[in-house]
Amino acid sequence: INAEYMGSVYFFSFLLPSSLMSDAQNFWIRWPLICMSSVVSESVTYPVDFTKTRMQLTQHHAGLWATAQKIHRADGVTGFYRGLAPAIMRHFVYTGLRIQLYEGLREKFRAPDGSLPFTARLLCGAMAGGIAQFVASPTDMMKVRLVTDRHVNNPPKYSGLADCVRQIHAEKGVLGFWRGVGPNVNRAAAVNLGELATYDQSKQLVLRYTGLKDGVAVHSLSAVCSGFMASLVSTPFDVLKTRMMSGTHTSQWQCIKALVTHEGPAKLFSGFLPGWARLGPWQFCFWVTYEKLRWALGMEGF
């Protein structure tokens, strides 16, 4: 499975226009750095993401602490890491592509004087996130199925990652791995519109108005802004994605209608606080690690 998805990164890097991916040498230098940074961030923050996903599937308004207690009683500490393997695999594809695409698009849209409006950064972020998520959608499907398995099925349906892949393929074929790809891509576009564009713009503003050098303080301040905006704009899409991929709804419209009718509009923002609690540290870990790794190899900052 790992070889299959690592191969997809290589394959899609040649399908995408070279003007969007910069030169091939930089792509293959940056990609391992992005993957290493993603592993650090995902491993640190995954328990919060797991709890948030369980909250979004609960029909009543359960809080973060109550949901976490229920998970711990049922599965212990290790229960919070169920689905971590496909989550990390997803970032090898998803984050590896979205960061590369954003940097390529950013350079493509720059004016001759080097300036780039914030609206252009937003567009670059949305495009990069949507394309990358479409490619990585199968790994997200596996993660959601494993996270929700013990909540939806009694006894659990999947014995592990390989069994999850086998059963999804047996049920729906190859296209089954792209179930819910619509809300998935929409969410990724919203996340990256908020995350990449906000981090990029915030970093430039912090450098310009604080007098700080390009270092951990600047990266941390930018990551806080980025995490908040990404959480705010993406939470409704995240709820839809989770419900669709768990197999409980047949279409995005039917899912929205059922949520608003039976659980209220506020349910669309279920998981915002744990989402922000996760994205804040995730952004911090990722950007500080990634910027430092780039610096260590003599590359310019993001």
Orientation angle between helical segments 272-296 and 181-210, nearest 10 degrees: 60
Using the CB atoms, write b or e for 51-65: b if 16+ within 10 Å: bbbbbbbbeeebebe
Question: Which one-letter DSSP state was computed for residue 299?
Answer: P
Sequential pLDDT tens for the chain (302 residues):
445 444 444 444 444 555 444 455 688 889 999 999 999 999 988 998 888 777 777 656 667 788 888 888 888 888 888 878 878 988 999 999 999 999 999 988 998 888 899 999 999 999 999 999 999 888 888 887 887 787 777 788 888 888 988 998 998 898 888 887 887 788 889 889 889 999 999 999 999 999 899 999 999 999 989 988 888 888 888 888 777 766 667 777 888 888 888 888 888 888 788 778 778 888 889 999 999 999 998 888 88
Orientation angle between helical segments 24-57 and 118-152, nearest 10 degrees: 50
Composition of the chain by helix, strand, coil, percent to 5? 80, 0, 20
Measured between alpha carbons, how far is 60 from 50 in angstroms, rounded to an integer?
Answer: 18
Q: Which helix (H) or strand (E) holds 86?
A: helix 84-109
Q: Which amino acid is at 104?
A: G
Cis peptide, bond prior to residue 156, ω within 30 of zero: no
What is the residue-wise DSSP string for 160-180?
A: SHHHHHHHHHHHH-GGGGGTT
Measured between alpha carbons, how far is 264 from 209 in angstroms, rounded to an integer?
Answer: 42
CA dihedral sign of residues 158, 185, 193, 235:
negative
Orientation angle between helical segments 2-15 and 118-152, nearest 10 degrees: 160
Torsion, Cα of 157, 161, 167, 171 (10° steps): 110
Measured between alpha carbons, how far is 289 from 200 in angstroms, rounded to an integer?
Answer: 16
Which of 230, 256, 290, 267 shows the shortest CA–CA distance to 39? 290
pLDDT reported for residue 39: 93
Copy the structure tokens of residue 114.
């080097």
Measured between alpha carbons, how far is 169 from 159 in angstroms, rounded to an integer?
Answer: 15
Q: Burial, 96: exposed, middle or buried (Cβ in 10 Å; 0-12, 13-18, 19+)? A: buried
With beta carbons less than 8 A apart as the criterion, state whether 90 and 139 touch. Answer: yes
